[in-house]
Amino acid sequence: MDLAVQPFVLESIPLAADTPKNALTVDVEEYFQVAAFERTIQRDRWDATESRVEFSTARVLDLFAAHGTTATFFVLGWIAERHPALVRRIVAEGHELASHGYDHTRVHQFTPEQFREDVSRTKGILEDISGVTVRGYRAPSYSINGRNLWALEVLAETGHVYSSSIYPIRHDLYGMPEAPRFPFRIRPGEILEIPVTTVKFGRNNYPCGGGGYFRLLPYGAFRWMLRRVNEQDGQPGLFYFHPWEVDPGQPRVQDAPLRSRFRHYLNLDSMHSRLERLLADFEWGRMDEVFGA
Ligand SMILES: [Zn+2]
């Protein structure tokens, strides 16, 4: 499985209206499962560490309910096994359930066989708990890029319909700047990859799909960029965030590197109100609804 990066087959998305609906996504994981803290809180300590995911995800669900918004939740298999009622609530409230892999191992740490085992197992766990079919997958830390495109083949073979695992930017931890900015297939008939939203200035792509950048930039700048994608590119945006970002009361991880802590804790206090503005300023929906995947 040695896939060449080029040529991409661009999948064009039919747009229903002048102002496209954007896709809202949530990666459901604990505050201590992020890559930034992986050396500080290792997997064998996860079960003994204070859990916040039910509280923080409930806060997200309440926010969406207040705005009448539905979204796609990419859930770790590890979380689903420990919090099945949370998974059922996500589905009961009209949201799409999708996979974030089992325990946040990044794709480049797997062999193809190990990856197949991870995504099959997670899909099975989520489907057994929820009773719905899981069609979407998002790689932990956007860890699919030009070096492991075989992962897209494995996802298709294990019954996934779309992936949202590539970030077409240059970044120290992830990214595939040469990838298309909008939904594409590696080859005809392959799985649909729906990249996180970027905005293009000159030759470079800049992140405008959420995460730490959404907390770092002034809200007005972020809104201007997403509008530019909707109006000038004529494409839906794809936004992502994590439940721990709306949980300023989470325990502080002290012994992680300074840069990791800066990124993780920046502006957590204002995240909830920023999201309220974002939900009010744009129209939002589930991945399968927005992209027809
Ligand atoms: Zn994640």
- Using one digit for the tens of pLDDT, what is the confidence trace for 233-260? 989 999 999 999 999 998 888 888 888 8
Confidence (pLDDT) at 181: 93
Per-residue pLDDT reduced to its tens digit, 7-53? 667 776 666 555 568 999 999 999 999 877 888 888 898 999 999 99
Distance 29 CA to ligand 1 centre (A): 6
Bridge partners (DSSP) listed for residue 24: 239
Instruction: Give 123 Cα–ligand 1 centroid separation in angstroms.
Output: 16
3-class DSSP state for residue 254? coil
Q: What is the DSSP code string of 206-224? A: EE-SBTHHHHHS-HHHHHH
Rounded CA-CA distance 248/267 in Å is 9
Residue 2: predicted pLDDT: 43
Q: Which helix (H) or strand (E) holds 114?
A: helix 112-130
pLDDT in tens, 167-179: 998 877 678 888 8
Residue 166 tokens read as 């590539």
Task: Determine which helix (DSSP H) or strand (DSSP E) holds 99, and give its type and residue range.
Answer: strand 96-99
Mean pLDDT of the chain: 91
123-169 confidence digits (pLDDT tens): 999 999 999 999 999 999 999 998 999 999 999 999 999 999 999 98
Q: Which of 256, 175, 251, 176 is nearest to 211 (CA)?
A: 175
Cα 190 to middle of ligand 1, angstroms: 24
Spatial separation of the C-alpha atoms in residues 203 and 29, rounded to whole Å: 34
| Per-residue pLDDT at 77 | 98
pLDDT tens per residue, range 257-292: 888 888 888 888 899 999 999 999 999 999 999 998
At 6, the pLDDT band (50, 70, 90 cuts) reads low
How many whole angstroms from 13 Cα to the centroid of ligand 1? 26
Q: Are the C-beta atoms of 165 and 264 separated by less than 8 Å?
A: no
Name the band, by pLDDT with cuts 50, 70 and 90, for residue 111.
very high
Rounded to an integer, the average pLDDT of 186-206 is: 90
Nearest CA to 137 out of 4, 35, 27 is that of 27
d(CA 60, CA 55) in angstroms, rounded, equals: 9
Ligand 1 geometric centre to CA of 205 (Å): 22
Tell how far CA 209 is from the center of its chain: 9
Is the model's pLDDT at 1 over the cut of 50? no
Helix (H) or strand (E) holding 150: helix 150-157
- Measured at the alpha carbon of residue 236, what is the angle toward residues 179 and 122, in degrees to the nearest 5? 65
Angle between helices 268-281 and 53-67 (to 10 degrees): 30
3-class secondary structure, 229: helix
Please check whether residue 23 is in contact with residue 229, taking contact to mean a CB–CB distance below 8 angstroms: no
pLDDT at 257: 85
Average pLDDT over residues 201-219: 90
Please give the Cα distance from 244 to 270 (Å, whole number): 13
What percentage of the chain has pLDDT greater than the value 70?
A: 93
Cα angle 147, 150, 155; round to 5? 130
18 CA from centroid of ligand 1 (Å): 32
